[in-house]
Amino acid sequence: MSVLVFIEQRDGKIRSVSREALGEAVRLAEKLSGPVVAVCAAAADPGVAALGEAGAERALLASDPRFALYDAEATVAVVAAAVEAVRPDVVLFAASAMGRDLAPRVAARLGLGLASDCTALAVEGGKLRATRPVFAGKALQTVGFVRTPALVSLRPKVFAPVSRTGRQANVEVLAGAWGDPSRAHVVRVAAAASGKADLTESEIIVSGGRGLKGPENFALLDQLAAALGATVGASRAVVDAGWRPHSDQVGQTGKTVSPKLYVAVGISGAIQHLAGMSSSRCIVAINKDPDAPIFKVADYGLVGDLFEVVPALTEAVQKLNAHV
């Protein structure tokens, strides 16, 4: 029983979420005793042979200039062709911007069930079970699949990649015409300001809320983030106030994040905010109100005025960095 993994690339670079998916494919393949096969659509080979190090035994490559930017309709055709060629039992995608768009289209094209944004997979009695947060993480739903292949997309930053140094995947060309020119055409990608990392892919996030009192005070968080190597996020209150862009919002109507460290500064911890960050590995709350609900989910809390605490914390982290 084989596992097919859709490999995302942008600008000729394979994205780390795809290595996470390959890692989970390796763990599944051990239980299902089958090979792990990667499939990638790219304008030119982004180096798929090296996916052997991430766990792929075979790599199918569809190369065509049209894959320079994301082309949804043609990519669906590539995945469908790979499913036809490999006949896998499971197809994994990352629940990234691309995977969230692509996987449901593939499911509809092939008439298959998709479990999206999963945080755990299990094999019970030879059958795949996928667990996914629902109600913004307030509950966990476990689903089974009526037919194979089972389609699954995986939440970024939840699944560990594997490392098999020196291994190479067998590269095979996946040939095809990939259909008519797409009627929805990505003309360009506008880069985010200052090349900021995406929240969903950050190891450490420092988020600010209304307690910051004004947009200018986010400079305090920028400094703390620089010391921690973190990305700055925000509550909805400050996004709606226009202090921060919507792409910074964490929560039910923003991003769902699972970093190893989440620092909530001047954020009360409304249920809709908790929805987006409660699967973080370690949560720190800094708030002057000891009764703020955020302390109920925080592993470590610091009660105090952020305007005093944050600069002191930045300094202490800088000192620590200088030592190690």
Ligand X SMILES: Cc1cc2nc3c(=O)[nH]c(=O)nc-3n(C[C@H](O)[C@H](O)[C@H](O)COP(=O)(O)OP(=O)(O)OC[C@H]3O[C@@H](n4cnc5c(N)ncnc54)[C@H](O)[C@@H]3O)c2cc1C
Collect all residues with Cβ–Cβ distance below 8 Å to 314 and sequence separation of at least 6: 220, 223, 224, 227
191 binds another protein (CB under 8 A): yes
Residue 293 found at the interface with another protein (CB under 8 A)? no
CA nearest 91: which of 137, 49, 125, 60?
Answer: 60
Residue selected from 48, 107, 237, 264 as contacting another protein according to rule CB under 8 A? 107
Beta strand pairing call for 120-124 and 127-134: antiparallel
- Does 303 help bind ligand X (rule: CB under 6 A)? no
The one-letter amino acid code at 252 reads Q
Q: Which of 144, 137, 155, 123 is nearest to 31 (CA)?
A: 123
Q: Does 283 interact with another protein (rule: CB under 8 A)?
A: yes
The answer to the question of residue 267 lying near ligand X (CB under 6 A) is yes
Query: CA-based angle 263:258:274, to the nearest 5?
Result: 65
Residue 44 interacts with, from another protein, ligand X, none (CB under 5-8 Å by kind):
none
Tokens matching residue 194: 């200052």
Q: Which residue number, 26 or 118, has a Cβ lying nearer to another protein? A: 118
258 binds another protein (CB under 8 A): no
Task: Find the angle CA(224)-CA(226)-CA(227) to the nearest 5 degrees.
Answer: 65
Shortest gap between Cβ of 293 and ligand X (angstroms)? 8
Touching ligand X, residues 280-299 (CB under 6 A): 287-289, 292
Residues in 46-65 that interact with ligand X by CB under 6 A: none
Torsion sign, CA atoms 93, 99, 102, 104: positive
In the bound complex, what is the minimum distance in angstroms from residue 61's beta carbon to another protein? Answer: 22
Largest CA distance in the chain: 62
> What does 143 interact with, of ligand X, another protein, none (CB < 5 to 8 A by kind)?
another protein
Pick the closer one to another protein by CB: 43 or 317: 317
The single residue among 276, 280, 301, 314 that binds ligand X, judged by CB under 6 A, is 276
219, interface contact from another protein, ligand X, none, CB < 5-8 Å by kind: none
Choosing from 172, 226, 307, 317, the residue that interacts with ligand X (CB under 6 A) is 307
Cα 222–289–256 angle (5° rounding)? 50
Contact status, residue 263 vs residue 299, Cβ threshold 8 Å: no
Q: Which amino acid is at 196?
A: K
Residues 208-247 vs ligand X: string with x where CB under 6 A? -xxx-----------------------xxxx---------
Structure tokens at 26: 């390796």
Where along the sequence are the contacts to ligand X (CB under 6 A)?
209-211, 235-238, 249-254, 266-268, 270, 272-273, 276, 287-289, 292, 305-307
